[in-house]
């Protein structure tokens, strides 16, 4: 819980009683590698905070291929927030790509906090903006060759290289995992 409180207090002040209110509206939870936080075709019902682990966002393209769009790691909110807010059906999956420890805000509690905690909305909006910004972060540059895309990935996400299965990184970079493996060999 400490991690979540520290995270929240980055965005605004809360007194002890308010912090307790927040804590009373969350649930600790976990996901094993491969399990889903939310799924395409369903209406998302929760906002999560990643205490430990990495979650990826992906969708199925026409041909059925999985396209990885982003990675989200610890000390971040995770949610398909637009559809969470609008009660609409999600178009993408959010899946644990390592085992994850999470703190969950169920939808009712998330809304309750807006009523119960003065200043919560201000904090909330800032957190959500950061959350959406991370998901929209520029992906790999399509005109660059795979080697360059991998190099830039290492610069932008150095902490992921040794934690996330190669197949997901390959999917994010738009290459087969065989090609990515070859690229890694040739880089050294």
Partner DNA sequence: CCATTTTTTTACCAAATGGTAAATGCTTTC
Partner DNA sequence: GAAAGCATTTACCATTTGGTAAAAAAATGG
Residues that bind a second copy (CB under 8 A): 61, 65, 67, 136, 139-144, 171, 173-175
Angle ∠(11,15,18) on CA atoms, nearest 5: 90
Dihedral, CA of residue 149, residue 153, residue 154 and residue 156, to nearest 10: 140
Considering only residues 16-55, where is the footprint of DNA by CB under 7 A?
33
Q: Does 181 bind DNA (CB under 7 A)?
A: yes
Q: Does 183 bind DNA (CB under 7 A)?
A: yes
User: Residue 102 or residue 180: which is nearer to DNA going by CB?
Assistant: 180
Interface stretch with DNA, choices 7-15, 118-126, 152-160, 161-169 (CB under 7 A): 161-169
User: Residue 116 or residue 132: which is nearer to a second copy going by CB?
Assistant: 132
Shortest reach from residue 139's CB to a second copy, in Å: 7
Interface stretch with DNA, choices 74-82, 84-92, 128-136, 168-176 (CB under 7 A): 168-176
What six digits make up the tokens of 53? 């682990």
Handedness of CA 163, 166, 169, 173 (dihedral sign): positive
Q: Does 63 bind DNA (CB under 7 A)?
A: no
Q: Which of 87, 122, 136, 178 binds DNA (CB under 7 A)?
A: 178
Shortest reach from residue 108's CB to a second copy, in Å: 26
Name the site residues for DNA (rule: CB under 7 A): 33, 143, 145-147, 165-167, 174-185
């Amino acid at each position: 819980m400490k991690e979540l409180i520290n995270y929240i207090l980055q965005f605004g002040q809360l007194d002890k009683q308010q912090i307790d209110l927040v804590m009373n509206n969350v649930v600790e939870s976990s996901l094993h590698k491969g399990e889903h936080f939310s799924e395409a075709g369903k209406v998302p019902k929760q906002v999560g905070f990643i205490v430990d682990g990495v979650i990826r966002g992906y969708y199925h393209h026409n041909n059925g291929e999985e396209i990885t769009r982003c990675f989200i790691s610890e000390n971040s909110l995770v949610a398909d927030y637009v559809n969470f807010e609008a009660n609409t059906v999600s178009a993408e999956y959010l899946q644990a790509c390592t085992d994850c420890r999470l703190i969950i805000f169920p939808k009712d509690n998330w809304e309750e906090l807006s009523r119960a905690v003065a200043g919560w909305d201000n904090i909330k909006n800032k957190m959500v903006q950061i959350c959406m910004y991370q998901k929209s972060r520029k992906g790999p540059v399509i005109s660059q060759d795979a080697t360059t895309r991998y190099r830039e990935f290492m610069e932008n996400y150095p902490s992921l290289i040794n934690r996330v299965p190669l197949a997901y990184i390959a999917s994010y970079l738009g290459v087969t995992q065989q090609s990515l493996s070859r690229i890694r060999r040739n880089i050294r």
